[in-house]
Amino acid sequence: METFGLLMNGFATAMQPTNLLFAVMGCLMGTVIGVLPGVGPAAGTAMLIPVTFVLDPTPAIIMLAAIYYGAMYGGTITSVLVNVPGEAASAITCIEGYEMAKRGRAGAALSIAAIGSFIGGNVATIGLVVLALPLTTLALKFGPPEFFALMVMGLSLVTGLASKSMVRALMAAIFGLMIAMVGIDPVMGAPRFSFGMTELLSGFNFVPVVMGLFGISEIFANAENPIGEIFETKLSSLVISVKDLKTSFWPIVRGTFIGFFLGLIPGVGAVVPTFISYVAEKKTSKYPEKFGTGMIEGVAGPETANNAYANAAMIPLFTLGIPGSPTIAILMGAFMMNGLIPGPFLFKEHAEFVWAVIASMYIGNLILLVLNLPLIPLWVALLKMPYSVLFAIILGFCVLGSYSIDSSVFDIGVMLAFGAIGYILKKLDFPLAPICLTLILGPLMERGLRQSLEISRGDFTIFFTRPISAGLLAISAIFVLGATFQMVGKVRGSDTQV
Amino acid sequence: MKRPYQITAVVFILFSAFIVREAMELKFYTSLGPGPGFFPFWLAVLLAILSVMMLYNATFKDAGPMPADFWASKVGYIRMAAIFLAISAAVFLMELIGFRITMLAFYLFMLFALGRQNLIVTALVSLAGSWGVFQVFTELLKVPLPIGIFGI
């Protein structure tokens, strides 16, 4: 009952005209980011952070959250109509969605994606409402050892799932932690690895680093092999038949559950739920042999899972302060820039803000459903822009975005340097998500570790004598060892990866 | 992928060695517990161990074939160099000659380097990305952008 009252207050705040306007703007901007290849949700959200500088924290976060889930939906449009996924999570939609479009059923594919996304997103948000208070109550019992163990668990999941090679994934995670070490030491205040440069005293700003790793590196890769001619299909009527709705019912139900439960696990990433959902639909279908020829279940399931994941991934962020994906890490950074620390205290100290953002997620899902379908011709027209113009504009916004964070040209240089590093690491098949997550979590992890050891006077058994931290560390160990042995099995087989 | 992985592993080993050396100059342990050098030291040691594993695997096991698209075409590298050059120039020029002139030159150069467009498109994109963005950010969003020695 208490939750319901808080949520209603949240709706009252989220429905204020200013907040509603920024939710609409966020949905539109997010859809543009999702539609455009070459700028994923992480880089896109980071790029648009300066736009929210003038705003109060509530509309700023409402807008950035809307950009995030708008981008997750936007990628679908290009997957269906031009066979180019705007972002990685929509890649699986190309298989059935584009086939449907070639058969003149693009409208049905986009409509079912919108309906599924709406249902998946809303169910996941209900989950957030239901789980928020119990999880935060539990998290309030956490001390530094438990938080450290929780972050270790999140990182072990990220590294375990991020790459074909555990070694490369761990190296990426440690590299990210090392970048996070630059600047003032979080416990004693001593400068580290700043090499006498005043710009480095406050550490690397995460926004230019993420824009470099995910935005500039992607543009380098596209400049290397620019996308060629696109076969564009025609958009049919957006009205969906009753038969299609019936066929899509169970895929939407399954997609919702898959996306929701995977969203609760930090580090799974947005791509995994969509692939699992697609495989689940193929396995449960009476006609698995027809998959690949334009089966609506192959769009409904993954697209629902995609949005259910996007909304459910907010649960670990809001309740525990653990970001599960690079884009959520950007949101976490935006919270911090507004003086808000995600985690259990957020619900206690800024209840009005946090429930307004949660309520805005329902509204945002509705906005996406109502607004985006009629605007599809506009998004397609946007894609007809020559790639040279598109990439020049994206680059310009990257320069502008990284400069305006701290009004520093040094940050533009940081973005460029990390763009080059990201490009090289991608070529070498290193996953980039662990770098981004550890960059955000690094100072929190270090603080957790050092405060724990201060409590125990240097005794490391503190992590194993407290039941919650011991349990979390055991899960991490099982996961890392499991992933490593799986890797060893693969190495012994034909597919050898370093 | 044998040689690229070997080179990468060696680079990471050298990087780890550098971090270990730097971390040792910081306080490793204090009366209150671990000092500022503690975490970076152990991270560098872990990275070094993983890099040695990577080097071993690349040298003594099958590291897999090099993907066909591992190296870009000559045109691709020229485009990447152009992007690198344009952003580097922005770093050095933005505070000297101001946001508007820098970004005007940036867009003109990028649109020329990434694929020539007709003059009207080039002019519109360049002006919108420099003068237009300056107006929106400084006037509407109240985000300060640099004004250079020419007062623009």
Average pLDDT, chain A: 84
Q: Are A250 and A305 in contact (CB under 8 A)?
A: no
DSSP state of B147: B
pLDDT of residue A445: 86
Q: What is the pLDDT of residues A223-267, one digit of tens each?
A: 887 655 455 556 556 678 889 999 999 999 999 999 998 888 776
Q: What is the pLDDT of residues A1-31, one digit of tens each?
A: 577 888 899 999 999 999 999 999 999 988 8
Q: Which of residues 155-214 of A touch B (CB under 8 A)?
A: 167-168, 170-171, 174-175, 177-178, 181, 185, 187-188, 190, 192-193
Task: Return all residues near A143 (Cβ < 8 A) that are at least 6 apart.
Answer: A452, A455, A466
pLDDT confidence band for A207 (50 / 70 / 90): confident
- Kindly state the average pLDDT of the residues B28-56: 91
Q: What is the pLDDT of residues A405-421, one digit of tens each?
A: 888 999 999 999 999 99
**Residue from the list A224, A388, A407 with its beta carbon closest to the beta carbon of B80:** A224
Residue A202 has pLDDT above 70, yes or no: yes
Q: How far apart are CA B107 and CA B30, in angstroms?
A: 53
Cβ-Cβ contacts under 8 Å, A386 against chain B? 115, 117
Residue A305 has pLDDT above 90, yes or no: yes
Question: Which range in A75-89, A175-189, A408-422, B115-129 is most confidently predicted, on average pLDDT?
Answer: A408-422
Residue A162 has pLDDT above 70, yes or no: no
- Separation in Å, CA of B150 to nearest CA in chain A: 18
Nearest residue of A to residue B108 by CA position? Answer: A392
Give the tokens for residue A409. Answer: 């040209």
Task: Spell out the domain ranges in chain B.
Answer: 2-60, 74-140
Residue with tokens 């360049």: B126
Q: How far apart are CA A67 and CA A367, in angstroms?
A: 12
Nearest residue of B to residue A412 by CA position? Answer: B91
Q: How far apart are CA A100 and CA A275, in angstroms?
A: 18
Residue A122 has pLDDT above 50, yes or no: yes
Look up the pTM and report it. 0.84
Whether the ipTM is more than 0.90: the answer is yes
pLDDT of residue B11: 97
Q: How far apart are CA B92 and CA B50, in angstroms?
A: 37
If residue B114 lies in a helix (H) or strand (E), which one and from where to where? helix B99-114
Q: Which of residues 432-491 of A touch B (CB under 8 A)?
A: 446, 449-450, 453-454, 457-458, 491
Q: What is the pLDDT of residues A463-486, one digit of tens each?
A: 999 998 999 899 888 877 777 666
Question: Which range in A114-128, A151-165, B12-26, B53-67 is most confidently predicted, on average pLDDT?
Answer: B12-26
pLDDT of residue A214: 85
Q: What is the pLDDT of residues B75-128, one digit of tens each?
A: 899 999 999 999 999 999 999 999 999 999 999 999 998 887 788 999 999 999
Helices (H) and strands (E) in chain B, counts: 6, 2
**Residue from the list A190, A219, A495 with its beta carbon closest to the beta carbon of B83:** A219
Mind spelling out the 3-state secondary structure of chain A? CHHHHHHHHHHHHHCCHHHHHHHHHHHHHHHHHHHCCCCCHHHHHHHHHHHHCCCCHHHHHHHHHHHHHHHHHHHHHHHHHHCCCCCHHHCCHHHHHHHHHHCCCHHHHHHHHHHHHHHHHHHHHHHHHHHHHHHHHHHCCCCHHHHHHHHHHHHHHHHHHHCCCHHHHHHHHHHHHHHHHCEECCCCCCEECCCCCHHHCCCCCHHHHHHHHHHHHHHHHHHHCCCCCCCCCCCCCCCCCHHHHHHHHHHHHHHHHHHHHHHHCCCCCCHHHHHHHHHHHHHHCCCHHHCCCCCCHHHHHHHHHHHHHHHHCHHHHHHHCCCCCHHHHHHHHHHHHCCCCCCHHHHHHCHHHHHHHHHHHHHHHHHHHHHHCCCHHHHHHHHCCCHHHHHHHHHHHHHHHHHHHHCCHHHHHHHHHHHHHHHHHHHCCCCCHHHHHHHHHHHHHHHHHHHHHHHCCCCCCHHHHCHHHHHHHHHHHHHHHHHHHHHHHHHHCCCCCC
- Separation in Å, CA of B73 to nearest CA in chain A: 7
